[in-house]
Amino acid sequence: MKIEICENNIDWSRYTEFYLMNRHDVIAGYTVSNAMLDVKHFIRHGRGAILLEEPDEIIGIGSFVLGLEERKFDRKEIAVLGNCYFVERHRSTRTFIRGLQVLAEQIGASSDGVREVRIPALAENRYTNKLYSKIADKIETRDSAYGPVNMYATSFPAFVAYCDRFR
Protein backbone atom coordinates (compact mmCIF):
# COMPACT_ATOMS: atom_id res chain seq x y z
CA MET A 1 0.00 0.00 0.00
CA LYS A 2 1.12 3.55 -0.66
CA ILE A 3 -0.40 6.87 0.24
CA GLU A 4 -0.40 9.91 -2.03
CA ILE A 5 -1.24 13.39 -0.79
CA CYS A 6 -3.51 15.24 -3.21
CA GLU A 7 -1.41 18.01 -4.73
CA ASN A 8 -2.83 18.67 -8.16
CA ASN A 9 -5.99 18.44 -10.26
CA ILE A 10 -5.33 14.85 -11.27
CA ASP A 11 -4.98 13.74 -7.62
CA TRP A 12 -8.11 15.62 -6.58
CA SER A 13 -10.04 14.24 -9.57
CA ARG A 14 -9.13 10.69 -8.54
CA TYR A 15 -10.02 11.44 -4.91
CA THR A 16 -13.36 12.97 -5.95
CA GLU A 17 -14.29 10.11 -8.28
CA PHE A 18 -13.63 7.52 -5.55
CA TYR A 19 -15.54 9.58 -2.97
CA LEU A 20 -18.54 10.06 -5.27
CA MET A 21 -18.64 6.37 -6.18
CA ASN A 22 -18.56 5.31 -2.52
CA ARG A 23 -20.47 8.15 -0.86
CA HIS A 24 -23.53 5.99 -0.09
CA ASP A 25 -21.31 3.54 1.79
CA VAL A 26 -19.87 6.45 3.78
CA ILE A 27 -23.29 7.95 4.57
CA ALA A 28 -26.50 6.41 3.26
CA GLY A 29 -28.23 8.85 0.94
CA TYR A 30 -25.27 11.27 0.86
CA THR A 31 -25.84 13.64 -2.04
CA VAL A 32 -23.41 14.47 -4.82
CA SER A 33 -23.67 18.15 -3.91
CA ASN A 34 -22.67 17.47 -0.29
CA ALA A 35 -19.75 15.28 -1.36
CA MET A 36 -18.60 17.97 -3.81
CA LEU A 37 -18.87 20.62 -1.08
CA ASP A 38 -16.72 18.41 1.16
CA VAL A 39 -14.05 18.15 -1.54
CA LYS A 40 -14.13 21.92 -2.07
CA HIS A 41 -13.54 22.42 1.67
CA PHE A 42 -10.70 19.88 1.73
CA ILE A 43 -8.99 21.63 -1.19
CA ARG A 44 -9.41 25.15 0.22
CA HIS A 45 -9.02 24.53 3.96
CA GLY A 46 -7.18 21.24 4.42
CA ARG A 47 -5.69 18.25 2.68
CA GLY A 48 -6.71 14.94 1.21
CA ALA A 49 -4.94 11.65 0.60
CA ILE A 50 -5.48 8.66 -1.64
CA LEU A 51 -4.54 5.18 -0.43
CA LEU A 52 -3.38 2.94 -3.25
CA GLU A 53 -2.70 -0.72 -3.73
CA GLU A 54 -0.46 -1.77 -6.58
CA PRO A 55 -0.56 -1.35 -9.46
CA ASP A 56 -2.65 1.82 -9.02
CA GLU A 57 -5.99 0.85 -7.49
CA ILE A 58 -7.53 3.32 -5.04
CA ILE A 59 -8.51 1.46 -1.87
CA GLY A 60 -9.31 4.42 0.36
CA ILE A 61 -9.31 8.12 1.02
CA GLY A 62 -8.72 10.36 4.01
CA SER A 63 -8.92 14.09 4.61
CA PHE A 64 -9.19 16.96 7.06
CA VAL A 65 -9.93 20.65 7.22
CA LEU A 66 -8.46 23.28 9.49
CA GLY A 67 -11.17 25.26 11.19
CA LEU A 68 -14.86 24.77 11.82
CA GLU A 69 -17.18 24.94 8.82
CA GLU A 70 -19.95 26.60 10.84
CA ARG A 71 -17.50 29.40 11.71
CA LYS A 72 -16.28 29.82 8.14
CA PHE A 73 -13.08 27.90 8.99
CA ASP A 74 -11.74 30.66 11.23
CA ARG A 75 -10.74 28.32 14.09
CA LYS A 76 -7.52 27.06 12.47
CA GLU A 77 -6.33 25.56 15.77
CA ILE A 78 -8.92 22.80 15.27
CA ALA A 79 -8.46 20.09 12.63
CA VAL A 80 -11.61 18.17 11.70
CA LEU A 81 -11.23 14.82 9.98
CA GLY A 82 -13.33 14.34 6.86
CA ASN A 83 -15.27 11.32 5.70
CA CYS A 84 -12.62 8.63 5.39
CA TYR A 85 -13.40 5.44 3.53
CA PHE A 86 -11.67 2.13 2.77
CA VAL A 87 -12.81 -0.71 0.55
CA GLU A 88 -14.12 -3.58 2.64
CA ARG A 89 -11.08 -5.87 2.35
CA HIS A 90 -8.96 -3.17 4.02
CA ARG A 91 -11.21 -2.50 6.98
CA SER A 92 -10.06 -3.81 10.35
CA THR A 93 -6.49 -3.87 9.06
CA ARG A 94 -3.47 -1.66 9.67
CA THR A 95 -4.59 0.42 6.66
CA PHE A 96 -6.82 2.55 8.89
CA ILE A 97 -4.11 3.29 11.45
CA ARG A 98 -1.57 3.99 8.71
CA GLY A 99 -4.04 6.46 7.20
CA LEU A 100 -4.48 8.15 10.59
CA GLN A 101 -0.70 8.39 10.95
CA VAL A 102 -0.44 10.17 7.60
CA LEU A 103 -3.30 12.51 8.52
CA ALA A 104 -1.53 13.33 11.80
CA GLU A 105 1.67 14.08 9.88
CA GLN A 106 -0.20 16.24 7.37
CA ILE A 107 -2.08 18.13 10.07
CA GLY A 108 1.22 18.89 11.78
CA ALA A 109 2.84 19.94 8.51
CA SER A 110 -0.07 22.18 7.54
CA SER A 111 0.02 24.33 10.68
CA ASP A 112 2.03 24.54 13.87
CA GLY A 113 -0.99 26.09 15.60
CA VAL A 114 -3.24 23.00 15.66
CA ARG A 115 -4.25 22.20 19.23
CA GLU A 116 -7.26 19.91 18.77
CA VAL A 117 -8.49 17.16 16.44
CA ARG A 118 -12.20 16.47 15.99
CA ILE A 119 -13.71 13.36 14.46
CA PRO A 120 -17.39 13.24 13.45
CA ALA A 121 -19.34 9.97 13.34
CA LEU A 122 -22.96 9.20 12.61
CA ALA A 123 -24.52 8.25 15.95
CA GLU A 124 -26.12 5.14 14.42
CA ASN A 125 -22.76 3.72 13.30
CA ARG A 126 -21.68 1.63 16.27
CA TYR A 127 -18.42 0.56 14.66
CA THR A 128 -17.04 4.07 14.06
CA ASN A 129 -18.30 5.35 17.42
CA LYS A 130 -16.57 2.50 19.25
CA LEU A 131 -13.40 3.10 17.24
CA TYR A 132 -13.35 6.88 17.69
CA SER A 133 -14.09 6.61 21.42
CA LYS A 134 -10.70 4.87 21.74
CA ILE A 135 -9.02 7.92 20.21
CA ALA A 136 -11.04 10.85 21.58
CA ASP A 137 -13.87 11.89 23.91
CA LYS A 138 -17.39 12.57 22.67
CA ILE A 139 -18.04 16.28 23.16
CA GLU A 140 -21.43 16.74 21.53
CA THR A 141 -24.18 15.30 19.36
CA ARG A 142 -25.70 17.41 16.59
CA ASP A 143 -28.59 16.81 14.25
CA SER A 144 -27.85 16.62 10.54
CA ALA A 145 -29.83 15.85 7.41
CA TYR A 146 -28.49 12.28 7.75
CA GLY A 147 -29.30 11.78 11.42
CA PRO A 148 -27.51 12.62 14.68
CA VAL A 149 -23.73 13.07 14.45
CA ASN A 150 -21.44 12.52 17.43
CA MET A 151 -18.37 14.73 17.55
CA TYR A 152 -15.25 13.35 19.21
CA ALA A 153 -12.33 15.57 20.22
CA THR A 154 -8.82 15.14 21.55
CA SER A 155 -5.74 17.29 21.79
CA PHE A 156 -3.45 17.19 18.78
CA PRO A 157 -0.55 15.82 20.86
CA ALA A 158 -2.81 13.03 22.19
CA PHE A 159 -3.93 12.23 18.62
CA VAL A 160 -0.30 12.00 17.47
CA ALA A 161 0.58 9.86 20.50
CA TYR A 162 -2.30 7.48 19.73
CA CYS A 163 -1.16 7.14 16.10
CA ASP A 164 2.48 6.67 17.12
CA ARG A 165 1.60 3.73 19.40
CA PHE A 166 1.22 1.59 16.29
CA ARG A 167 4.50 2.40 14.53
Bond prior to 55 in cis (omega within 30° of 0): yes
pLDDT digits (tens, 9 = 90+) for 87-99: 988 877 788 889 9
Domains in the chain, number: 1
List the domain range (segments joined by +) for residue 157. Answer: 2-164
pLDDT digits (tens, 9 = 90+) for 25-65: 999 999 999 999 999 999 999 999 999 997 789 999 999 99
Identify the pLDDT of residue 89: 83
H helix or E strand, kind and range, residue 99: helix 94-110
**74, burial (CB in 10 Å: exposed 0-12, middle 13-18, buried 19+):** exposed
Kindly report the CATH number assigned to the domain that includes residue 89. 3.40.630.30
Identify the pLDDT of residue 97: 87
pLDDT digits (tens, 9 = 90+) for 66-81: 999 999 999 999 999 9
0.85 cut: is pTM over it? Answer: yes
